[in-house]
Amino acid sequence: MKRRYLIGNLKMNLASVAETEQYLVALRKELFGKRIDGVEIVLAPSSVYLERFSRELPDPLRLAAQDVFWEKEGSFTGQVSAPMLRDLHVGSVIVGHGERRLYAHETDTEVGWKMKSALHENLQPILCVGETADERERGEEVSVVSDQVRLAFHDVSPMMAERVLVAYEPRWAIGTDIIPESEQIFEMRIVIHRALAELYGQPVADRVPVLYGGSVKATLLERVCFEPRMDGVLVGRESLYPHELFRMAHEIGNRDDGRREADGNEVGGE
């Protein structure tokens, strides 16, 4: 069965140890007596709280970091390396998030270096790609997103490529409550798979999950996840509410839209 994913990006929220502790208590309470089937839930807290999450995150939830640096160690003030994350039992890491591209001016090439440093340390990269409002206005979304994919996967072997999750996050939908149409999301899913197919061939491309992110709420899952046939969602602000998080997990995990089959391949190509 092809896996589905629910990634919670907690961003620079949970602004104190006390709030973090409250959140973890609420998570455990919401999870109590529930079965999580058919969906992997991965939470990405601020790096300051990774150690606490690593100790206290309830099973079967998994831990991600929000960023990683491309060097392993050395004089790189303020950075966190992939081996450091591995040491804290972090399993995944977000790379190329729109907010890092915006505020830290991260380039596609740097995002590619981060991807490779994560992969070499056996961390699963969650690669965020997506065009800005201006780029979409100019009709450049296909070339922008294709280039982001190509540069991030540059020099990544096919075997490693299959370990990456790609999240299509149009920058104009992050934190804005502006929701793309299902067709727009589906179209970009095809664009991402096409760029991957050019690099690795269709079978490998088909095995790379593509998620949607940008102002996701439980009530929008039909439009942003199921209709455009995405493999899950990346949720920002809404992941601060454990009740909503598990509501989404339940819907995603229990959804059977007939596109999965026993050997893990999708039914029908694009």
What angle separates helix 242-254 from helix 17-31, to the nearest 10 degrees? 40
Residue 97 a catalytic site member = yes
**Residue 37 and residue 254 in contact, taking contact as beta carbons nearer than 8 Å:** yes
Q: Does 93 participate in binding ligand PEP (rule CB under 6 A)?
A: no
Task: Tell me which of 30, 40, 97, 121 is the catalytic residue.
Answer: 97
CB of 231 to ligand PEP, least distance (A): 16
Residues within window 204-243 making contact with ligand PEP, judged by CB under 6 A: 213-216, 234-238
- For the chain, the distance separating the N- and C-terminal CA atoms, rounded to the nearest angstrom, is 19
**Residue 31 and residue 58 in contact, taking contact as beta carbons nearer than 8 Å:** yes
Query: How many CA atoms lie within 13 Å of 247's alpha carbon, on the beta-carbon side?
Result: 14
Q: Based on CB atoms, which residue is closest to ligand PEP, 112 or 214?
A: 214
**Residue 152 and residue 191 in contact, taking contact as beta carbons nearer than 8 Å:** no
Residues within window 141-170 making contact with ligand PEP, judged by CB under 6 A: 169
Interacting residues of 114 by C-beta distance below 8 A, sequence separation 6+: 67, 68, 69, 70, 93, 95, 96, 125
CB of 193 to ligand PEP, least distance (A): 20
- Residues that are catalytic: 97, 169
Interface residues with ligand PEP (CB under 6 A) are 9, 11, 169, 174-175, 213-216, 234-238
